[in-house]
Amino acid sequence: MKRSLLIVIVMIILFLGQAQLQKKLARFESPEQETLLYLPSGKYLKPLALGYDQMLADLLWMKTISYFGDHFMTDKEYPWLHHILNLIIDLDPLFDFPYFFGGIILSLEASQVDRANQILERGIEAYPEKWQFPFYIGFNYYYHQKDAEKAAPYIEKASSLPEAPAYLVPLVGGLYAKTNKNETALRFYREAHRNATDALVKEHIQKKINRILSGIDNYDTGNTDTTSD
């Protein structure tokens, strides 16, 4: 096993060194950037792994942690983080740590919200039942881009998935209300109220419904339904 892995590593080094690095060496000052730039996409990297996809993904994951740590302690710039994470996901789509890491770190630390959400979208494809991935996309839209309208559908999706925390339900209604969609918020709250099994959650949802109906949480300039189920 160790010998086979060594062969894979040597092949990749030779491929990167001879086929790519020397070709445009003068264009880049940092050896680290050269190495990361010429890592091929997962489409081309997988055949080089010779069946050791997960093992190579683990090696790249260790490189990712080292890369992030080095830059976190120095310039706090992460131009290749998104690229490496995508490579890892290409090699091992069921390796869930890169999705969480990319979705959080790329937005909070690297200010790359769109790239963070792209990683999270891939997480949804790999794990459609995990509520955390749509939740983090919604969080990124709302917290970083101040876009409640884009955030709301993702939080709503997250709230409908298994093991989603109860607090997501009222959060969704509040997001819709803030986007001048009180009718949608009321429909969502009422459906949530019907399906809630916890008495305290039902009480909290009913209070939110009452606030919208009374105009306290009314951000809609149009007509609002004044009848309650």
Same domain, 164 and 86: no
Residue 34 lies in a domain: yes
Domain annotation covers residue 184:
yes
Confidence band for 51, pLDDT divided at 50, 70 and 90: low
Joined together, the tokens standing for residue 149 give: 């309208």
Paired tokens of 204: 């909290």
88 vs 123: CA distance, rounded Å = 12
pTM: 0.69
Separation CA 158–CA 133 (nearest Å): 8
* 23 and 110 both lie in a single domain: yes
Kindly state whether residue 134 falls inside one of the protein's structural domains: no
Q: Say whether both 122 and 162 belong to one domain.
A: no
Computed over its alpha carbons, how large is the radius of gyration of the chain? 23
Q: Do 115 and 197 lie in a common domain?
A: no
Q: Indicate whether 6 and 103 sit together in one domain.
A: yes
Flag whether 146 is in a domain: no
Q: How many CA atoms within 13 Å lie on the side-chain side of 95?
A: 20
Task: Give the pLDDT confidence of 123-143 residue by residue, as tens digits.
Answer: 999 999 999 999 999 999 988
3-state secondary structure of 163: coil
User: Does residue 123 sit in the same domain as residue 12?
Assistant: yes
Domain of 10, in residue numbers: 2-127
What are 135-193's pLDDT values in tens digits? 999 999 988 898 988 999 999 999 999 999 888 888 888 888 887 777 778 877 887 78
Contacts of 83 (CB under 8 A, 6+ apart): 36, 37, 39
Residues 108 and 17 in one domain: yes
| Position 137 in a domain | no
Residues 103 and 168 both lie in one domain: no
Q: How many domains does the chain have?
A: 2
> Tens digit of pLDDT for each residue in 65-93?
888 888 888 888 888 899 889 989 988 99
Within 105-212, strands assigned E span none
